[in-house]
Amino acid sequence: MKEDSRIYVAGHHGLVGSAIWRELQRQGFKNLIGRRRREVDLLDIAAVQKFFAEIKPDFVFMAAAKVGGIHANNTQPAAFLFENLQVQNNLIHAAYQAEVRKLLFLGSSCIYPKLAPQPLKEEYLLTSELEPTNQWYAVAKIAGLKLCQAYRRQYGCDFISAMPTNMYGPNDNYDLESSHVLPALIRKFHDAKTSFAATVTCWGTGAPLREFLYADDLANACVFLMQHYSEEQFINVGSGSEITIRELSELVKRIIGFKGEIVWDESKPDGTPRKLMDSSRLFALGWKPKVNLETGIRMAYEDFLSKQLR
């Protein structure tokens, strides 16, 4: 990528897209293109093709998708499957037609089978059954990475895919109906602190192990991959470190300054006992994350507070 390359970030207002945008600006790229959904609806193939014909992007980062936690996935299976398939089909096909030089598709760790060995290596894809709660989203993401591989094989397109672990950071979704675990904990502990509640109830036993990556680290990895990676094989992007949900809850409680107790509602499901990506393929290319979990949560909470005040 050159300083004046035309770079389109799809979903540039979301958690990941806004981080990619900041990272590209930080690295001096001057010709960034972004559109909100109300300007270009990526579900509409004619609108997407017209947009690509107008802007003629050289590079595309695909951070637009329908994203959500367990509850949202479970209650809107059709929307998760249809919208994700549609958005990625439209973007990938339009990028091929507009002769985009390179495209990065973003998937997720939920592409891996529910009972795959840990840590999750890229070769475990499609070796057994998916986690049923988010299978709709996972099937769409698997189709997306396969589509990139297919366009590479049939048309020689330089389309690559990255599978990030759980993300958090500025511009995250803090709506408890649709958010992921870390932003949900930030919201719950913040609300409990400001309403002087005595307790915060968390789901399950707190025993599951999870991995988290700060969004700016993912953004840095995406720009790195766009510049240094050109393989059909998709690639994991994680931090390489894991924490129990119980330890994570204690950490968020401490950062936010909530003085009450945590109550564990063991009638609620725990989910997969452990979910850690094996990111050694990416680390071997020379990329490493920079932001540790405590620092990242502090920065995410500052961003959350700044938006509450507006």
Ligand X SMILES: NC(=O)c1ccc[n+]([C@@H]2O[C@H](COP(=O)([O-])OP(=O)(O)OC[C@H]3O[C@@H](n4cnc5c(N)ncnc54)[C@H](OP(=O)(O)O)[C@@H]3O)[C@@H](O)[C@H]2O)c1
Restricted to residues 93-112, the positions that interact with ligand X (CB under 6 A) are 106, 108
Distance between CA atoms of 151 and 60, rounded to whole angstroms?
Answer: 15
Which residue type sits at 171? Answer: N
User: And the tokens for 122?
Assistant: 């890229």
Asked if residue 60 binds ligand X (CB under 6 A), the reply is no
Q: Which of 2, 36, 56, 228 touches ligand X by CB under 6 A?
A: 36
| Angle in degrees, CA 112, 118, 120, rounded to 5 | 40
Least distance CB 251 / ligand X (angstroms): 17
Pick one of 34, 57, 119, 164: the residue that binds ligand X (CB under 6 A): 164
Among 104, 160, 167, 225, binds ligand X (CB under 6 A): 167
Nearest 5°: the CA angle 227, 159, 109 is 90
Among 20, 33, 60, 67, binds ligand X (CB under 6 A): 67
Per the annotation, the verdict on 174 as an active-site residue is no
- Structure tokens that stand for 111 in this block: 């592409």
Pairing of strands 166-168, 209-214: parallel
Q: How far apart are CA 263 and CA 260, in angstroms?
A: 10
Determine phi and psi for 12, rounding to 5 degrees. Answer: -70, -5
**Cβ(16)–Cβ(62) under 8 Å?**
no
Closer CB to ligand X, residue 14 or residue 258? Answer: 14
- 31 residue type, one letter: N
Which member of 112, 137, 151, 168 is catalytic?
A: 137
Pairing mode, strands 209-214 and 242-244: antiparallel
Looking at the Cβ atoms of 18 and 258, the one nearer to ligand X is 18
Q: Of the ranges 61-69, 122-130, 196-204, 278-286, which one interacts with ligand X (CB under 6 A)? A: 61-69
Cβ-based neighbours of 195, under 8 Å, separated by 6 or more: none
Cβ proximity to ligand X, 82 vs 203, nearer residue:
82
Tell me if 63 contacts ligand X by CB under 6 A: yes
Q: Is residue 71 within the footprint of ligand X (CB under 6 A)?
A: no
- Tell me, rounded to whole angstroms, the distance of Cα 252 from its chain centroid: 20
Q: Give the one residue of 37, 268, 290, 298 binding ligand X; rule: CB under 6 A.
A: 37
Does position 41 bind ligand X by CB under 6 A? Answer: yes
Q: Which is nearer to ligand X, 55 or 197 (CB)?
A: 55
- Is residue 20 at the binding interface for ligand X, with CB under 6 A as the rule? no
What's the rounded Cα separation, in Å, for the pair 199 and 241? Answer: 29
Amino acid, single-letter form, for residue 262: I
Closer to ligand X by Cβ: residue 17 or 289 = 17
Q: Taking CB under 6 A as the rule, does residue 15 contact ligand X? A: yes
Q: Which range of residues in 7-15, 72-80, 197-205, 248-256 is near ligand X by CB under 6 A?
A: 7-15
Which region, judged by CB under 6 A, interacts with ligand X, from 37-45, 255-263, 271-279, 296-304? 37-45
Measure the CA angle with vertex 128, ends 180 and 120; round to 5°.
55
* Residue numbers at the binding site for ligand X (CB under 6 A): 11, 13-17, 36-37, 41-43, 63-67, 87, 106, 108, 164, 166-167, 173, 180
Residues belonging to the active site: 137
